[in-house]
Every structure is written in structure tokens, then in C-alpha cells.
């Protein structure tokens, strides 16, 4: 070895580097825990624990541990513990690395008597298909995307398709809320997909005030569900109502004329309690809870623009959404809500979706039970009885996972309805090829430290003064 | 009736004590566990009034009085409020610590704060001390309400349901049975005749037992728990440890060292045996190793600290180690005993994920045992630092070198246990949550604490840490343990180890940490002065 090599080896095998790495790793991780308390677990995982600098620390640590062990070669008896421990740490980190690269962590949510043979992971993918009649036809692009870690502003997401069409992902919102703007379009401009009618209604009393667009266009909801009441918009004659409930049906008896009529139903009878012709902006009492109803706007050829904005921090049930552009056409896609986008040459079908894996067997939830400690509401156990491939059944509970086909399936949580009854059992699914390696490393570490502890007095304990103080 | 109420106001609340021993022996189902009424009463009176007795009356008598004479008690000031901001909101004087149920119920401000609290809880937000106080009042009021309505007093087991019947749902002979207990209680107060009360209690117990004989606990097991409640084994243990620490300190500074050391050792072993008995007793009552909350872990860490200390003391025959071990254990147990509002002493059933005695034992006991070794190192370190602070390090150079070695050995034991415990935690997490390591704050802080001590061990190899460095670092590195042990659960409050979360004491812990670091800094300053003087002397 030349002097430079020797110097470098000396640096990487030095105890001083070890102490520096230990202390800096400790500091970074400590910062990470406070970051997590402030910004939540996913943010801390992304920004700190799974960052390049923690990986770099780990790699330097491996190098340091390996060089330090080699430096003492040929090993003497008192090196045994030291070498085993260092080899153990290296093995453990390697095992974790394999887990990170090859391991799969996913989720399954099943209602009782539901079955599945696949599961989702938290990684997302972008799928682009050629579209025929609004349906996916040929898969053109399938690629993993990490918009949280690498937002579109910082990384280019560009996909070249046939006939010089290029699709770009231009925006990403992690917690997005939907915003609809509707304008009056022309009657003929958008063939072969003509613009369809839409209306904006208002429903209010002293506590509720709702204004929403409903319409026949696919981008607009056809009805609005307020909870105790619904408002819907249809074309054609007034249909028969199957069950009594509070609802307002606005209908257009003749598609050629823009005359609108309404019918108000109550939850007590099948017949409409009130019918009439819609007069824009005029209030109609509904008869339920002092609610007043009015149609604020109506467009024969409504041109809806759906955009997404950052949701309120407290808003519930928000998800990620991306804006996709092809030439000048921009459209938004929510996770798991695929639809079309038109390009200058072709129409495409875009799906922003979680990555899916096959289980290789069918998992059926037969029963879910949440037991409580007697006389209290404190949960004592969560148990899912599952059937595997119709062959046998097993109970999955906390500390009792199911192992099958290389996967381990754990009871992770559950969801309840408003009455507090469990309706969904949620499992986590795990495949971890690094597990045996990690366990071997762990065993070496503990064994090695024990040996070191045993050997230590041989050379530092000599100076210890025996006898009373 | 009015005269009875007056009588009760004078006798029931103020003076006469009823012998309620028989009632303490009834079994009650509460908080997911069947326990003697004595335990329930102590826990309830503790929560509501802040102490296990009220005006010198036993908890069971107080609870019975609430239950039987709610109208009189509703106007009495006995619900403890400590938070100053809350006192202000409730228009209490700063010096007053108690308020009546009626005042609380009729306070509109409190009602709106409780709504705000339920929103915070729903969103799983961390609570500041003020809202922790609101939460406590909420618990106090709802427990009091459950007692006076009888809805929280489940005394009769059923055969078809695991839920015991509360007083409010009793019918027929059971209802009559409890009615005669209430009458007997009144008779006991007005006529000072306890017999009808005791007869009624015994009769009721037979009825309750007959309702589901298999479920009802034996008299012996109820008696055992009452015995545990009454003896306060850990309180006895720390008094004995304190004595032992005093003997060790005398032995260090007085002649007749050998004799005093023997006395100190015998005292320490006596304390240890009481401590261990209490620990085993608690295991036996809970049916699991008692390491599921902060209070129980303090008991265990103190125990581990004494065991390690006595082993080291017997090997090396150094009095400092005995002093450090008994001193740390005394402090630990006193803290455990004195802040019941923060460190909950009641035995509670386990969260589903913890219901594995095997893993709970090997993972948690190993981790917390490492805290014990580190606490011992910290104790020895602090004793050693006193030599620097007093400026007598030159005279005690050899002694300090030996102390640094003990600190080093204790840290080695701690690192072995903490590493093994953390890895075992990983294996358990892998088995139960499906991943070996997930950077959960509790895991991460266990690792950080371990890294801190690893830095000390390696720093000694490099020669960066010599005698003073090792000693100072052993004390400083304990901050990592405090964070992993207390901070993650009480300060950060995030992550998967949520079953151990709590609140309170942050200011005290921070203050203690600051004082500790200042002490290390002072020792370092004095040590530096010495170095300068020494180098000048050798220079000359």
C-alpha cells in the first residue's frame, strides 16, 4: 500500500472517526424525533431517517467498522468479541439495506365476508394507457412516482408517447381539496363531446349553508348528498321514487328546452310534497328543518374546470392530487380516480394509483372481533378470523400474525361505523428477505458485546485497586 | 329527613369514623379488572381529592359517604385543583386547592373548555398543562358522578356476561341488600352501632358471590391485595435504603469502616428484600410483570440499580458504589411515591399489543434494567464529581481512577443490556407490527442513548476521555436515558409506544437536568483550575 492508501485506511479505521460518527448519528436522530413530534411521522421519515445523509452515515459506519476490524488483523484472543460485534453491526445494517430495497410493506382492508388476492403498498405509480371510448386500452407507461419526496417543481416528470405527444406532470398537492369552476361554453365548440347542462344550487338555514354545482358532465357530481337530504339533477321525465327520503330532484323534462322543474320529497311519503318550475334565484322552502332551496345558476352548455387547491390543515378525507398536462390541456387526477385526457393527436387514459402486489392466495375475512376488558370499554384484543384459499382458517390477532406464501400478515387496526361497531379490519402485509440477515447480525452484536464485557478486565481492569476504600 | 341530613352534615362528614373494613373486602369490577373495594376507593379518592384519605377518613368510608349522601357532598369543597390558570378560570383563590362538584357543574366556562378538550382529544393533539388540568377535572367529575349514581360501582358478577352489574342496575334482593348496607351506614353514624352495617355487608357479599361463584375472587386474594395497599412496600423500602445510604456515607467518613459497612450492607439487603417482595406481590396481583407504565418502571429500575450496586460493592468492596446504589434507589422510589397525579400507581389491564408476558418480560425488563445500570453509573459519577467540586482531586487521584473504572464497568453492563433490549424490541416489533426497525421515537431514543454511551466507551479508548472525562460523561449521557425513558412518553408524545404516554412533570425534570448539568460544569471548571495549577507546578 502506498502512503496515501495507508493514510486513507488509517483515517477510515480510526477510533476518532468512530466517535465522530456515533455522536453525529445520535445528533441527527435526536433532531429527527423532535421533527417528528412537530411535523408528523411521514415527514420525519422522508426528511431525516430515509434521507441521503443518514444513508451516508450508515455507509461510513460500515466502512469504519470494517477497516477498524481489519486494522487489528491478525486477530488475537481478546479481539474475538470486538470482531464479532463489528461484524454483527455490519451484517445488521446490510440486512436493513436489503429490507429497504427488496422488502414489501403493504396494507389490506377487508370488511367481513370480503376477500382479496392482492394488496397495496404506500408507493405510488403513474399508468398511462391509450384510451378507446373512455376506457384504458393499451398500457403505454407504467412508472413508480414519488411526488412527496421529489415534487414536480424539482424533478421533471415527462413521458413521450406516440405521434410526438408528450405528457407532463406539472403540479402535486399532498392534501388537496377539489374546486370546481363552471363557465358557459358554446353549443358546438367541443365535438365530439358536446357540453352538457349543469346548475348551481343553494341550500341553507341558520346553521347550514351549502352551494354546490351538479351536472351531467362526467367531471361534475350528478347529485349532492348533504347527509339528511340529497339534491340531484336529471334529464327526462320525473322518475318514480323507490323509498321515501328527503330529497330534491331537479329535472329537465325536454332536453331541447331549458325549462327546469323541481320536486321535493320527504322521508315520510313516496309522493312529492311539492312540485314546481325552477325560477332562478327564487327561494323555495323545503319543509325540512327550515331549509330554503334555490337554483342560483344554470348553464345549458356548462364547461366545468376542475382544479385542486391546498386543503385546510384540519380538513378530513383529503388525498393527494396531480395536475397532468398535454400541450395546453391541463387536467387534475386524484389518487385512485383515473380518467381521460385529450391530446392534440390521441386521447389518453391516466391513472395515478398505489402500487399493487399479488398475494398469490385468496384471503377472506370471516369474522372480526374486538374484545374488551369486562365492565369497561378498554380494548383487550383485536381478532380477525381469516380463511386462506378456502383451505383452512386462522385467527390473526396482535402478536399472532399469519405466515403464508412468504408473506406475514398482521392485525394492524380497524375502522368503526358511527355506532362504534367494527366494519373493516386492517392488516399490514410484510415480505422481508433481509430478516434472517438482520437476526444473524443482531445475535452477533449481543454475543460480541457479552464476550467483550467478559474479556475487558484482562487489560483495563489491571489497574483497579482491590480492597476497602 | 331534614334532621337526618343535618345529622349527617355534622356527623357524617365532619367527625364520626365508621369501621368499613368489611366493605373494603367486597370485590368490585373497575377499569377492566376485579379488585377489592379498598383499591377502587383508594384510586378514586386519590384522583378526586389528591390523597388516599380525606380529613383522616379511609378511602372506602369516603366513597360510601359520597354514594349514600350525595346531596350533602355536592356542596362540599373536596375536588382537588392544582393548575393556577384553571384556578383563575374557576374564580378560585390561589391558596385554595379544593372546589365543590356543584361549583364545577354550574361553571359555564368549564363546560366550554371541556368541549374544547374533547375536540383536542378527537384530533389526538398534544395537551398543554392547562388542558391536562381540564382533562383531570373532567375525569374527577365523571368518576364522582359514576360513584354517586352507582353506575361505576359494579359489585355483582353475572354468569352470562363478563360485565358485572353496577349498583344502578341492581334489582330485587340485590337492590334490597345494598339498601340495608346504606341504612346500616346511616345507623352506624347516627347511633354509633356498626353491627347492622357489617351484617348487611356480609349478607350482600354472599349474594354477590352466589350470583357467579366461579368469577368471584376468593377472600384470600382480596385480603392479599388489601395487604399490599396498606403496607406500601416500596415506601418501606426507600426508608430502609435511605438508612443504608446514611450508613454508607458514615462508613466513608468515619473510623470503624468495616463495622459500619457491615451495618450498611445488612440494611441495604433488608431494603432489597422488602423491595423484591413488593415487586413479586405486585406481579402476583397484576398477573404480569409490572413494567407497563412509568411508575412500575421506576420501581424496577430502582430495584435493578440496588442489585447491580450490591454486586459491584461485594466484588470491589468500595463504599461509594453502595452509597450510589442506595442513594439512587431512594431518590427513584421517593419520586415514584410522591407524584401520584403524574405517576399512576394503579394496576391497569394491558393494551392488546402488550398482552404477551413473554415479550413484555424479556424486552421491557432488559431495556429498563439497562437504565438501572446507567443510573448506577450516574450515581457513582455524581459522587466522584463531588471530589472535583470540593477541590480535593489531587489527594484522591487513585480513588477517582477507581471510580472511573466502576463507572466504565456499569456503563458496559448498561450498553450490553440496552443493545440486547433494543434488539429484542426490534424482534418483538417485527413479530407484532411487521417490521424490525421503523425509526419510532422510542426505538430511536433507545438507540441515541446507546450511541451516547458507546461514544463514552470509545472515547475512553481514544484517550479523549480520561478519569474526569469518563466520570463527567457518565453523568451527562444519562440525559439520553431520561429522554428515552421519560421524554418520549411525556414530552414528544408521538409514535407507536403510545400506551405509555402521559403528561406532567416536564418543568421539574427539565430543572433537575439543568441543575445536574450545572453541577457537571462546575466540577469541570474546578478540575480545569487544578490542571492549570498542576501544569504550572510541573512547569516550575
pLDDT one-digit tens code per residue, A298-313: 888 888 888 888 887 7
Of A45, A399, A453, Cβ closest to residue B416? A453
Q: Which helix (H) or strand (E) holds B415?
A: helix B397-432
- pLDDT at residue number B329: 97
Of A36, A381, A456, Cβ closest to residue B352? A381
Give chain B positions within 8 Å (CB) of A20: none
Residue of chain A with shortest Cα separation from B320: A469
Q: Is B492 on the interface with A (CB under 8 A)?
A: yes
Give burial (CB, 10 Å; 0-12/13-18/19+) of A206: exposed
Interval B199-244: pLDDT, tens: 999 999 999 999 999 889 999 999 999 999 999 999 999 999 999 9
**∠ Cα B162 B165 B168 (to 5°):** 155
Question: Residue B318 and residue A16: Cβ atoms within 8 Å?
Answer: no
Question: Residue B405 and residue A463: Cβ atoms within 8 Å?
Answer: yes
pLDDT at B288 over 90: no
- pLDDT at residue number A462: 38
Which pLDDT band holds residue A197 (cuts at 50, 70, 90)?
Answer: confident
- pLDDT at residue number A291: 83
Residues of chain A numbered 362-391 and touching chain B (CB < 8 Å) = 372-376, 378-382
pLDDT-above-70 percentage for chain B: 94
Cβ pair B476, B517 in contact under 8 A: yes
Q: Is A96 on the interface with B (CB under 8 A)?
A: yes
| Candidate from B155-159, B313-317, B466-470, B501-505 with smallest mean pLDDT | B501-505
Give SS3 for A176: strand
Q: Which residue has the cell 460485534?
A: A85
Cβ pair A426, A396 in contact under 8 A: no
| Candidate from A100-109, B248-257, B430-439 with smallest mean pLDDT | B430-439
Residues of chain B numbered 71-110 and touching chain A (CB < 8 Å) = none
B57 bridge partner residues: B54
CA–chain centroid gap for B249, Å, is: 27
pLDDT at B420 over 50: yes
- pLDDT at residue number B328: 96
Which pLDDT band holds residue A168 (cuts at 50, 70, 90)?
Answer: very high
Radius of gyration of chain A, Cα coordinates, nearest whole angstrom: 32
Cβ pair B8, B72 in contact under 8 A: yes
What whole-number distance in Å separates Cα of residue A393 and Cα of residue A383? 13
- pLDDT at residue number A183: 85
Give chain A positions within 8 Å (CB) of B123: 314
What whole-number distance in Å separates Cα of residue B452 and Cα of residue B403? 20
- pLDDT at residue number B501: 66
Residues 6+ apart with CB under 8 A from B155: B26, B27, B28, B37, B164, B165, B166, B167, B178, B204, B208
Give chain A positions within 8 Å (CB) of B320: 469
Of A36, A378, A456, Cβ closest to residue B412? A456
Q: Is A426 on the interface with B (CB under 8 A)?
A: no
Crossing angle between the packed helical segments B506-539 and B365-389, to the nearest 10 degrees = 50
Task: Name which of A205, A202, A208, A241 is nearest A227 in CA terms.
Answer: A208
Q: What is the mean pLDDT of residues B245-267?
A: 91
Cβ pair A227, A316 in contact under 8 A: no
Of B30, B257, B435, Cβ closest to residue A105? B435
Which pLDDT band holds residue B12 (cuts at 50, 70, 90)?
Answer: very low
- pLDDT at residue number B495: 67
pLDDT at A454 over 80: no
Give chain A positions within 8 Å (CB) of B288: none
What whole-number distance in Å separates Cα of residue B477 and Cα of residue B458? 13
pLDDT at A2 over 80: no
Give SS3 for A148: coil
Q: Which residues of A154-171 are buried (b: 16+ CB within 10 A; e: fewer)?
A: eeebebebeeebebbbeb
Q: What is the mean pLDDT of residues A384-407?
A: 88
- pLDDT at residue number B49: 93
Question: Which one of B439, B450, B456 would you mutate to disrupt binding with A, by most A Cβ within 10 Å of its Cβ?
Answer: B439
What whole-number distance in Å separates Cα of residue B110 and Cα of residue B141? 12
Average pLDDT, chain A: 85
Q: Which helix (H) or strand (E) holds A124?
A: strand A115-132
Q: What is the mean pLDDT of residues A128-154?
A: 87
Which pLDDT band holds residue B137 (cuts at 50, 70, 90)?
Answer: very high
Distance from CA of A322 to the nearest CA of B (A): 27
Sign of the four-CA dihedral B248, B253, B258, B259? negative
- pLDDT at residue number A269: 78
- pLDDT at residue number A43: 83
**Given its phi and psi angles, is residue B206 left (phi above 0), alpha (psi -120 to 50 degrees) or beta?**
alpha
Residues 6+ apart with CB under 8 A from A353: A124, A125, A126, A127, A335, A336, A338
Residues of chain A numbered 10-39 and touching chain B (CB < 8 Å) = 15-16, 18-19, 22-23, 25-26, 29-30, 32-34, 36-37
B221 bridge partner residues: none
Of A282-291, A340-349, B344-353, the range with the highest mean pLDDT is A340-349
Interval A3-14: pLDDT, tens: 888 888 988 988
Question: Residue A36 and residue B492: Cβ atoms within 8 Å?
Answer: yes
- pLDDT at residue number B118: 84
Of B257, B402, B494, Cβ closest to residue A464? B402
Please report the beta strands in B100-235, taking only residues with DSSP state E, as ranges in sequence order: 154-156, 165-166
Question: Residue A45 and residue B439: Cβ atoms within 8 Å?
Answer: yes
Cβ pair B441, A33 in contact under 8 A: yes
- pLDDT at residue number B508: 87
Task: Name which of B414, B404, B385 is nearest B515 in CA terms.
Answer: B385
- pLDDT at residue number A191: 55
- Cell of residue B21, nine digits: 373494613
What whole-number distance in Å separates Cα of residue B377 and Cα of residue B383? 10
Give SS3 for A331: strand
**∠ Cα B43 B45 B47 (to 5°):** 65
Residue of chain A with shortest Cα separation from B248: A469
Which pLDDT band holds residue B404 (cuts at 50, 70, 90)?
Answer: very high
CA–chain centroid gap for B234, Å, is: 10
Q: The complex's ipTM?
A: 0.83
Q: Is A122 on the interface with B (CB under 8 A)?
A: no
| Candidate from A272-276, B11-15, B22-26, B410-414 with smallest mean pLDDT | B11-15
Which pLDDT band holds residue A464 (cuts at 50, 70, 90)?
Answer: very low
Residue of chain A with shortest Cα separation from B315: A466
- pLDDT at residue number B496: 65
Residues 6+ apart with CB under 8 A from A297: A182, A199, A200, A280
Give burial (CB, 10 Å; 0-12/13-18/19+) of A446: buried
| Candidate from A240-254, A403-417, B1-15, B172-186 with smallest mean pLDDT | B1-15
pLDDT at B10 over 60: no
What whole-number distance in Å separates Cα of residue A103 and Cα of residue A107? 14
Distance from CA of A224 to the nearest CA of B (A): 27
Return the number of other C-beta atoms located less than 10 Å from residue A281's C-beta: 10
Instruction: Work out how many CB contacts closer than 8 A connect A with B.
Output: 176
Question: Which one of B217, B357, B419 would you mutate to disrupt binding with A, by most A Cβ within 10 Å of its Cβ?
Answer: B419
Q: Is B173 on the interface with A (CB under 8 A)?
A: no
Backbone angles phi, psi at A51, to 5 degrees: -85, 170
What whole-number distance in Å separates Cα of residue B448 and Cα of residue A440? 22
Question: Which one of B30, B32, B248, B479 would you mutate to disrupt binding with A, by most A Cβ within 10 Å of its Cβ?
Answer: B32
What's the Cα-to-Cα distance from A282 to each of A201, A204, A224, rounded to whole Å? 11, 13, 20
Give chain A positions within 8 Å (CB) of B419: 445-446, 449
Cβ pair A420, A408 in contact under 8 A: no
Of A378, A401, A449, Cβ closest to residue B349? A378
Crossing angle between the packed helical segments B37-49 and B59-68, to the nearest 10 degrees = 80
- Cell of residue B46, nine digits: 386519590
Backbone angles phi, psi at A170, to 5 degrees: -105, -25
Distance from CA of B217 to the nearest CA of A (A): 14
Radius of gyration of chain B, Cα coordinates, nearest whole angstrom: 27
pLDDT at B11 over 50: no
Residues 6+ apart with CB under 8 A from B513: B479, B482
Average pLDDT, chain B: 88
Q: Is B123 on the interface with A (CB under 8 A)?
A: yes
pLDDT at B345 over 90: no
**∠ Cα B323 B325 B331 (to 5°):** 95
Question: Which one of A21, A49, A375 would you mutate to disrupt binding with B, by most B Cβ within 10 Å of its Cβ?
Answer: A375
Distance from CA of B287 to the nearest CA of A (A): 14
Give burial (CB, 10 Å; 0-12/13-18/19+) of B1: exposed
| Candidate from A53-62, A280-289, B128-137, B490-499 with smallest mean pLDDT | B490-499
Residues of chain B numbered 412-471 and touching chain A (CB < 8 Å) = 412-413, 415-416, 419-420, 423, 426-427, 430-437, 439, 441, 444-445, 447-448, 451-452, 454-455, 458-459, 461-462, 464
Of A23, A32, A442, Cβ closest to residue B455? A23
Q: What is the mean pLDDT of residues B462-483?
A: 93
Of A29, A380, A468, Cβ closest to residue B448? A29
What whole-number distance in Å separates Cα of residue A224 and Cα of residue A210? 10
| pTM summary value | 0.80
Of B30, B426, B434, Cβ closest to residue A408? B434
Q: What is the mean pLDDT of residues B443-451?
A: 94
Q: What is the mean pLDDT of residues A404-428?
A: 84
Which pLDDT band holds residue B191 (cuts at 50, 70, 90)?
Answer: confident
Q: What is the mean pLDDT of residues A449-468?
A: 55
Return the number of other C-beta atoms located less than 10 Å from residue A337's C-beta: 12
Interval A269-299: pLDDT, tens: 778 888 888 888 888 888 777 888 899 888 8
Give chain B positions within 8 Å (CB) of A435: 430, 436
Give SS3 for B133: helix
**∠ Cα B441 B443 B449 (to 5°):** 95
Interval B86-95: pLDDT, tens: 998 888 888 8
pLDDT at A468 over 60: no
What whole-number distance in Å separates Cα of residue B186 and Cα of residue B16? 11
Give SS3 for A369: strand
Q: What is the mean pLDDT of residues A116-135?
A: 88
pLDDT at B21 over 70: yes
Q: What are the sequence ranges of the domains in chain A?
A: 3-103+435-463, 105-117+357-431, 176-344
Q: Which residue has the cell 451484517?
A: A91
- pLDDT at residue number A469: 32
Question: Residue A453 and residue B462: Cβ atoms within 8 Å?
Answer: no
Q: Is A462 on the interface with B (CB under 8 A)?
A: no
Cβ pair B50, B36 in contact under 8 A: no
Q: Which residue has the cell 413479586?
A: B280
Cβ pair A417, A79 in contact under 8 A: no
Amino acid at each position: 500500500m502506498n502512503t496515501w492508501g495507508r493514510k486513507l485506511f488509517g483515517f477510515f479505521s480510526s477510533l476518532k472517526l468512530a466517535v465522530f460518527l456515533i455522536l453525529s448519528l445520535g445528533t441527527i436522530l435526536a433532531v429527527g424525533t423532535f421533527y417528528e413530534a412537530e411535523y408528523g411521522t411521514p415527514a420525519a421519515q422522508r426528511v431525516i431517517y430515509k434521507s441521503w445523509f443518514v444513508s451516508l452515515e450508515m455507509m461510513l459506519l460500515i466502512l469504519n467498522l470494517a477497516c477498524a476490524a481489519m486494522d487489528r488483523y491478525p486477530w488475537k484472543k481478546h479481539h474475538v468479541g470486538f470482531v464479532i460485534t463489528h461484524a454483527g453491526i455490519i451484517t445488521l445494517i446490510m440486512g436493513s439495506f436489503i429490507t429497504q430495497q427488496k422488502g414489501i410493506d403493504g396494507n389490506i382492508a377487508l370488511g367481513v365476508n370480503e376477500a382479496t388476492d392482492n394488496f397495496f403498498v404506500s408507493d405510488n405509480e403513474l399508468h398511462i394507457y391509450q384510451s378507446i371510448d373512455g376506457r384504458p386500452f393499451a398500457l403505454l407507461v407504467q412508472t413508480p412516482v414519488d411526488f412527496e419526496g421529489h415534487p414536480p417543481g424539482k424533478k421533471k416528470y415527462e413521458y413521450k408517447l406516440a405521434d410526438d405527444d408528450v405528457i407532463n406532470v406539472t403540479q402535486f398537492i399532498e392534501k388537496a381539496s377539489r374546486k370546481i369552476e363552471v363557465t358557459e361554453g358554446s353549443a358546438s365548440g367541443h365535438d365530439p363531446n358536446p357540453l352538457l347542462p349543469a346548475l348551481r344550487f343553494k341550500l341553507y338555514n341558520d346553521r347550514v349553508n351549502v352551494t354546490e354545482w351538479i351536472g351531467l358532465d362526467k367531471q361534475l357530481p350528478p347529485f349532492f348528498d348533504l347527509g339528511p337530504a340529497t339534491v340531484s339533477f336529471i334529464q327526462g321525465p320525473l322518475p318514480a321514487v323507490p323509498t321515501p327520503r328527503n330529497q330534491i330532484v331537479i329535472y329537465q323534462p325536454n332536453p331541447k328546452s331549458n325549462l327546469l322543474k323541481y320536486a321535493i320529497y320527504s322521508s315520510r311519503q313516496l309522493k312529492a310534497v311539492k312540485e314546481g318550475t325552477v325560477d332562478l334565484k327564487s327561494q323555495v322552502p323545503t319543509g325540512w328543518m327550515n331549509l330554503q332551496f334555490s337554483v342560483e345558476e344554470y348553464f345549458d352548455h356548462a364547461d366545468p374546470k376542475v382544479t385542486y387547491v391546498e386543503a385546510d390543515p384540519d380538513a378530513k378525507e383529503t388525498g393527494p392530487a396531480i395536475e397532468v398536462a398535454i400541450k395546453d390541456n391541463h387536467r387534475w387526477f386524484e389518487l385512485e380516480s383515473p380518467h381521460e385526457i385529450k391530446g392534440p393527436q390521441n386521447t389518453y387514459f391516466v391513472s395515478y394509483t398505489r402500487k399493487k402486489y399479488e398475494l398469490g392466495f385468496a384471503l377472506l375475512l370471516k369474522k372480526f372481533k374486538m374484545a374488551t376488558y369486562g365492565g369497561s370499554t378498554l380494548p383487550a384484543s383485536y381478532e380477525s378470523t381469516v380463511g386462506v384459499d378456502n383451505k383452512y382458517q386462522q385467527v390473526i390477532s396482535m402478536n399472532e400474525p399469519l405466515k403464508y406464501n412468504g408473506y406475514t400478515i398482521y392485525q394492524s387496526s380497524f375502522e368503526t361505523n358511527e355506532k362504534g361497531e367494527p366494519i373493516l379490519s386492517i392488516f399490514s402485509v410484510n415480505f422481508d428477505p433481509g430478516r434472517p440477515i438482520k437476526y444473524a447480525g443482531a445475535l452477533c452484536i449481543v454475543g460480541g458485546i457479552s464476550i467483550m464485557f467478559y474479556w475487558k478486565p484482562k487489560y483495563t481492569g489491571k489497574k483497579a485497586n482491590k480492597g476497602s476504600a | 329527613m331534614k334532621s337526618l341530613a343535618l345529622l349527617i352534615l355534622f356527623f357524617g362528614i365532619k367527625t364520626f369514623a365508621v369501621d368499613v373494613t368489611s366493605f373494603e373486602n367486597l370485590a368490585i369490577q373497575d377499569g377492566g379488572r376485579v379488585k377489592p373495594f379498598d383499591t377502587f376507593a383508594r384510586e378514586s379518592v386519590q384522583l378526586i381529592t389528591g390523597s388516599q384519605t380525606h380529613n383522616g377518613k379511609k378511602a372506602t368510608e369516603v366513597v360510601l359517604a359520597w354514594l349514600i349522601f350525595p346531596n350533602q357532598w355536592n356542596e362540599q369543597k373536596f375536588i382537588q385543583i392544582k393548575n393556577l390558570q384553571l384556578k383563575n378560570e374557576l374564580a378560585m383563590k390561589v391558596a385554595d386547592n379544593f372546589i365543590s362538584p356543584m361549583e364545577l357543574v354550574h361553571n359555564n366556562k368549564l363546560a366550554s373548555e371541556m368541549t374544547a378538550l374533547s375536540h383536542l382529544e378527537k384530533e389526538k393533539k398534544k395537551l398543554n398543562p392547562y388542558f391536562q388540568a381540564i382533562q383531570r377535572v373532567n375525569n374527577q367529575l365523571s368518576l364522582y358522578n359514576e360513584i354517586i349514581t352507582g353506575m361505576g360501582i359494579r359489585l355483582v358478577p353475572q354468569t352470562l356476561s363478563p360485565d358485572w352489574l353496577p349498583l344502578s342496575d341492581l334489582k330485587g334482593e340485590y337492590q334490597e341488600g345494598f339498601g340495608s348496607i346504606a341504612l346500616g351506614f346511616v345507623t352506624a353514624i347516627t347511633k354509633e352501632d356498626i353491627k347492622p352495617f357489617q351484617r348487611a355487608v356480609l349478607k350482600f357479599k354472599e349474594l354477590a358471590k352466589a350470583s357467579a361463584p366461579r368469577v368471584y375472587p376468593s377472600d384470600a386474594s382480596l385480603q392479599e391485595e388489601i395487604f399490599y395497599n396498606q403496607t406500601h412496600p416500596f415506601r418501606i423500602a426507600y426508608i430502609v435504603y435511605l438508612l443504608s445510604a446514611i450508613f454508607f456515607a458514615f462508613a466513608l467518613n468515619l473510623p470503624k469502616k468495616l463495622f459500619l459497612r457491615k451495618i450498611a450492607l445488612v440494611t441495604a439487603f433488608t431494603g432489597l428484600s422488602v423491595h423484591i417482595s413488593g415487586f413479586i406481590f405486585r406481579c402476583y396481583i397484576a398477573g404480569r410483570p409490572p413494567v407497563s407504565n412509568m411508575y412500575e418502571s421506576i420501581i424496577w429500575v430502582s430495584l435493578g440499580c440496588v442489585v447491580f450496586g450490591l454486586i459491584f460493592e461485594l466484588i470491589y468492596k468500595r463504599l461509594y458504589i453502595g452509597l450510589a446504589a442506595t442513594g439512587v434507589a431512594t431518590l427513584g422510589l421517593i419520586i415514584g411515591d410522591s407524584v401520584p397525579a403524574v405517576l399512576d400507581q394503579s394496576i391497569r389491564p394491558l393494551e392488546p399489543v402488550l398482552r404477551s408476558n413473554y415479550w413484555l418480560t424479556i424486552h421491557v425488563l432488559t431495556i429498563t434494567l439497562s437504565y438501572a445500570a446507567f443510573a448506577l453509573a450516574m450515581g457513582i459519577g455524581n459522587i466522584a464529581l463531588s471530589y472535583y467540586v470540593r477541590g480535593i482531586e489531587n489527594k484522591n487521584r487513585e480513588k477517582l481512577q477507581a471510580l472511573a473504572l466502576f463507572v466504565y464497568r456499569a456503563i458496559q453492563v448498561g450498553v450490553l443490556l440496552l443493545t440486547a433490549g433494543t434488539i429484542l424490541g426490534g424482534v418483538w416489533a417485527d413479530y407484532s407490527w411487521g417490521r424490525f426497525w421503523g425509526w419510532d421515537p422510542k426505538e430511536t431514543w433507545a438507540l441515541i442513548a446507546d450511541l451516547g454511551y458507546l461514544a463514552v466507551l470509545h472515547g475512553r479508548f481514544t484517550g479523549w476521555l480520561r478519569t474526569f472525562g469518563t466520570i463527567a460523561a457518565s453523568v451527562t449521557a444519562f440525559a439520553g436515558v431520561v429522554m428515552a425513558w421519560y421524554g418520549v412518553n411525556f414530552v414528544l408524545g408521538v409514535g407507536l409506544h403510545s400506551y405509555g404516554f402521559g403528561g406532567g412533570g416536564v418543568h421539574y425534570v427539565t430543572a433537575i437536568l439543568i441543575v445536574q448539568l450545572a453541577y457537571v460544569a462546575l466540577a469541570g471548571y474546578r478540575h480545569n483550575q487544578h490542571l492549570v495549577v498542576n501544569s504550572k507546578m510541573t512547569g516550575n
